[in-house]
Amino acid sequence: MANKEAAVAELKGHFENSTAVLLTEYRGLTVAQLNELRTSISADATYAVVKNTLTKIAANQAGISSFDDELVGPSGIAFVHGDPVTVAKSMRDFAKANPLLVIKGGYFDGNPLTAEEVTKLADLETREVLLAKLAGAFKASLFGAAYLFNAPLSKAVRTVDALREKQESAQ
């Protein structure tokens, strides 16, 4: 009994400390394939094979009831502590290569996610790519502004040069 209470407390802590949670079914995957999955997401998430009953109790204690109907069969959960988009991409790619892994849903930013919504999350650009695009847009805006500020100045210089040449040629 104490072991079960400790397991529920540990799972509850994972739910509360994760930025996102992805629920999967892994029926038929080998230990080697599960290790490959764990390795592929290890930078941003922890993947755990879980007992459904204990997980349901821990999720409910953490305020997550969206998994209640999904916790059937052999379940595994990715507890995300990094970028949820990167983990969703890795899980989606792994599921494409290993169709026995089924993404059942998730929980992100206080909201339950369906399997389709997890796929949409995986289709987003990563945080780094979005920041790079934003920096590029800022750089382009600053370049445009600098050009606009310099244009009247260079036009004025050309006008003064033209007037000076006209006066020199008139003398």
**Looking at the 3D structure of the chain, how many domains does it have?**
2
Domain that holds residue 32: 2-124
Out of 85, 100, 124, pick the residue that ends a domain: 124
For residues 63 and 85, membership in a common domain is answered with yes
154 has a pLDDT exceeding 70: no
* Mean pLDDT across the chain: 82
For residues 19 and 97, membership in a common domain is answered with yes
For residues 27 and 111, membership in a common domain is answered with yes
By the 8 A CB rule, do 148 and 141 touch?
A: no
Question: Where residue 64 sits, what CATH number does that domain have?
Answer: 3.30.70.1730
For residues 39 and 111, membership in a common domain is answered with yes
131 has a pLDDT exceeding 80: no
For residues 115 and 134, membership in a common domain is answered with no
Residue 144 pLDDT class (50, 70, 90 cuts): low
Out of 106, 124, 142, pick the residue that ends a domain: 124
One-letter identity of residue 117:
E
For residues 49 and 28, membership in a common domain is answered with yes
Q: How many residues does the chain have?
A: 171
For residues 17 and 66, membership in a common domain is answered with yes
Give percent above pLDDT 90 in the chain. 7
pLDDT tens-place string over residues 4-30: 888 888 888 888 888 889 999 988 888
For residues 44 and 89, membership in a common domain is answered with yes
Two tokens, residue 53: 């009953």
Q: Report how far residue 52's alpha carbon sits from residue 8's, in angstroms, rounded to the nearest whole number.
A: 11
The predicted model gives 50-58 an average pLDDT of: 89
